[in-house]
Amino acid sequence: MTQERTLIRTGGIGAILGAVVTLASIMLGPMDLDSGDTAVVMQYFADNAGRLQVHGLGVAVGKLLMLGGFVALYTSLRDSGWARLGLAGALVMTVINIIGPMMGGAVLPAIGQAYGQLPAAETAAALYAAQSFYYFYEALLAPSLLTMAAALLPFATAVLQSDRYPTWLGWLGLLAGFWVMIGGAGFSLVGPAGAADLINFFAPGFMLSIVWLLIAGVYLWRGQAR
């Protein structure tokens, strides 16, 4: 087995494991959290600090493994300019997708616990600072989805133009890519305060994007991408 072949198969395993770990870790994160009441939000992060730390670490590790999958996918399609563009998008996406879990898994739980220990006279002022951190966390939704689209759409186009993968995989990637691109634009328009109202519409597209890489990882691991 050549070194390139080994890289592709190893990256395929990374894509599969990364997708599974990421999806499982996302399920441990904040779900249907009412962002309109910052005090309730901080209490939630304080009460669920342990679970959210696992969530943040799991998503970060999963995204790094997924990056290995994107590198393997690029290696199998390196004759395509679209694949090079997709890899650039995947690198930026990974950085942004690690900042979010750090905020949700480490920073916000610590802030929530500190907020809960403050005397009543100091909570009003602290609430504004806590809200700023939480809004920054919510604001990461837009770039997270947009950079996912920046990775997925070029790779899906490269898959469609190649004879190494089934055509349906390319079309599925385009569907997921446009879904998260529209979601990213939507989150950009409504801002952090309105993110909770849109999450249920675009979270499935984000999940589909991860599943798409899992499927591509199976093809990479099985050696069907020549």
Ramachandran assignment for 32, one of left (phi > 0), alpha (psi -120 to 50 degrees), beta (any other):
left
2-16, 125-139, 143-157, 178-192: lowest mean pLDDT where? 125-139
**For the chain, what percent of residues have pLDDT higher than 90?**
48
What confidence tens digit (pLDDT) does each residue in 122-145 have?
666 677 777 788 888 888 888 999
Residue 175: the pLDDT is: 96
CB 66 within 8 A of CB 94: yes
CB proximity list for 57: less than 8 A, separation 6 or greater? 25, 101, 105
Residue type, 51: R
29-53 mean pLDDT: 79
68-84 mean pLDDT: 91
Virtual CA dihedral for 201, 205, 206, 210, nearest 10 degrees? 150
Whole-model pTM? 0.87
